[in-house]
């Protein structure tokens, strides 16, 4: 069963996220139309919005479903309370801010920017960053786990940091600056439910599975092709725009510019299923906290230049059954 939410963004959907916590009914959506919207997907209506002056490139909840943080071309890191309609500026970067994540363990916000830094912010003490990490390259993707921060840079490297050393001692030296297994630009990067590995997606229609422990990575890492469409002249290759891990079973979904959504088993190295392609790109994906729903941002990502008319944006909620996301070994 699928549901389309009303009043979708009027420009490209940059990110959508379910609120944390089993039973939450909120969905946060940021867009290039300079707005962050809050939806209640149970009642199928928009319940809040925050307007900014320039495109919003990423957003996330801050533990509380009524509070969110957003980043984008304004260069600011903005916290917004949907209940009180109060805006707080946590800080700013020198250039556009591409990605943002909230770490529920440390209660800190981490942002990656085109100014070649990653910065940490304490929402209780807005103004000055808690840490500034010099990457030496533009941040294109970022994720945080209990033990690690990973950043995909424009240099096609994955920069790995120890969360514990960073928070406790302010040590901003990377554990490792690792050349990506993928040969082209990284567009998506997510730490798995199994925190030993992460998945990355690139513009070349490939996904890489790599492990944090160097010896295990050397032995076990691999990459595979996806989001490629057969044509009369051969094969059309489409970027992998987004990756989302299932919170219960640890399998993961990818969304591509071919309009496709696929679910994969990283250990079995198999595709579990795929949706019939949408009319345009899938720009963002997220599983609900209990894994029973998948939110899909359907939005043209301009990989083929301007189109007139621009394909319509859609926010699709699809109900997920366990059989669709169980690893292969669990189905035997």
**Tell me, what's the pLDDT at 81?**
96
The three-state secondary structure class of 26 is strand
What are 243's strand-pairing partners?
A: 254
Give, in degrees to the nearest 5, the angle at Cα 208 between 207 and 212: 150
In this predicted model, what pLDDT tens digit does every residue of 78-105 receive, in sequence order?
Answer: 999 999 999 999 999 999 999 999 999 9
Q: CA 56, CA 69: separation in Å to the nearest integer?
A: 11
Q: Tell me: pLDDT of 72 over 50.
A: yes
**Tell me, what's the pLDDT at 175?**
86
Q: Is 7 exposed, middle or buried (0-12, 13-18, 19+ CB in 10 A)?
A: exposed
Q: Tell me: pLDDT of 50 over 50.
A: yes
**Tell me, what's the pLDDT at 22?**
85
**Would you tell me how many other CB atoms lie within 10 Å of the CB of residue 81?**
16
Contact 156, 184 (CB under 8 A): yes
- Range of the structural domain that residue 331 is part of: 180-332
Q: CA 166, CA 141: separation in Å to the nearest integer?
A: 19
For residue 75, being part of any structural domain is answered with yes
Residue 273 and residue 207 in one domain: yes
* Tally of structural domains, the chain: 2
**Would you tell me how many other CB atoms lie within 10 Å of the CB of residue 2?**
10
Q: Give me the sign of the Cα torsion angle 153, 155, 158, 159.
A: negative
**Tell me, what's the pLDDT at 332?**
43
Residue 74 and residue 185 in one domain: no
DSSP state of 313: P
* Residue that is last in its domain, among 83, 108, 126: 126
**Tell me, what's the pLDDT at 292?**
96
Greatest C-alpha distance within the chain: 58
Residue 199 and residue 327 in one domain: yes
Percentage of the residues of the chain whose pLDDT score is greater than 70: 99
For residue 57, being part of any structural domain is answered with yes
Give 218 or 167, the one with higher predicted confidence. Answer: 218
Q: CA 326, CA 291: separation in Å to the nearest integer?
A: 11
Q: Tell me: pLDDT of 186 over 60.
A: yes
For residue 236, being part of any structural domain is answered with yes
The three-state secondary structure class of 174 is coil
Lowest-pLDDT choice from 11-20, 154-163, 299-308, 311-320: 299-308
Residue 2 and residue 113 in one domain: yes
What are 86's strand-pairing partners?
A: 81
CA 317 to chain CA centroid, Å, is 17
In this predicted model, what pLDDT tens digit does every residue of 25-46 receive, in sequence order?
Answer: 999 999 999 999 999 999 999 9
Rounded to the nearest integer, the mean pLDDT of the chain is 94
Residue 108 and residue 195 in one domain: no
CATH at 247: 2.130.10.10
- pLDDT tier, 164 (very low <50, low <70, confident <90, very high otherwise): confident
- Read off the tokens for 258: 């071919």
Residue 185 and residue 111 in one domain: no
The predicted model gives 43-60 an average pLDDT of: 97
- pLDDT tier, 330 (very low <50, low <70, confident <90, very high otherwise): low
Residue 14 and residue 98 in one domain: yes
The predicted model gives 212-238 an average pLDDT of: 92
The predicted model gives 268-281 an average pLDDT of: 94
Q: CA 262, CA 65: separation in Å to the nearest integer?
A: 28
**Would you tell me how many other CB atoms lie within 10 Å of the CB of residue 162?**
18
* Residue that is last in its domain, among 126, 145, 165: 126
């Amino acid at each position: 069963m699928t549901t389309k939410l009303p009043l979708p963004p009027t420009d490209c959907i940059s990110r959508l996220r379910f609120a944390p916590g089993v039973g939450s009914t909120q969905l946060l959506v940021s867009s290039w139309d300079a707005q962050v919207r809050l939806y209640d997907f149970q009642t199928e209506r928009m319940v809040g919005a925050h307007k900014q002056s320039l495109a919003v490139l990423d957003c996330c909840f801050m533990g509380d479903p009524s509070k969110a943080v957003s980043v984008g071309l304004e260069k600011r890191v903005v916290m917004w309370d949907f209940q009180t309609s109060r805006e707080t500026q946590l800080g700013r970067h020198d250039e556009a801010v591409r990605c943002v994540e909230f770490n529920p363990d440390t209660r800190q916000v981490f942002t990656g920017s085109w100014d070649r830094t990653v910065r940490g912010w304490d929402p209780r003490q807005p103004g000055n960053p808690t840490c500034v990490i010099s990457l030496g390259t533009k941040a294109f993707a970022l994720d945080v786990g209990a033990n690690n921060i990973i950043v995909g840079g424009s240099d096609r490297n994955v920069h790995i940091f120890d969360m514990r050393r960073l928070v406790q001692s302010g040590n901003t030296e990377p554990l490792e600056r690792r050349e990506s297994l993928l040969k082209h630009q990284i567009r998506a990067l997510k730490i798995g439910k199994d925190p030993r590995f992460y998945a990355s997606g690139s513009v070349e229609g490939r996904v890489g599975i790599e492990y944090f422990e160097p010896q295990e990575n050397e032995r076990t890492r691999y990459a595979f092709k996806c989001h490629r469409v057969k044509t009369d002249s051969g094969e059309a290759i489409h970027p992998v725009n987004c990756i989302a891990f299932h919170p219960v079973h640890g399998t993961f979904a990818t969304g591509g510019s071919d309009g496709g959504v696929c679910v994969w088993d990283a250990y079995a190295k198999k595709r579990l299923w795929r949706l019939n392609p949408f009319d345009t790109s899938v720009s963002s994906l997220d599983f609900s906290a209990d894994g029973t729903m998948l939110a899909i941002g359907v939005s043209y990502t301009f990989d083929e230049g301007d189109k007139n008319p621009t394909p319509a944006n859609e926010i699709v909620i699809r109900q997920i059954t366990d059989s669709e996301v169980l690893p292969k070994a669990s189905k035997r």
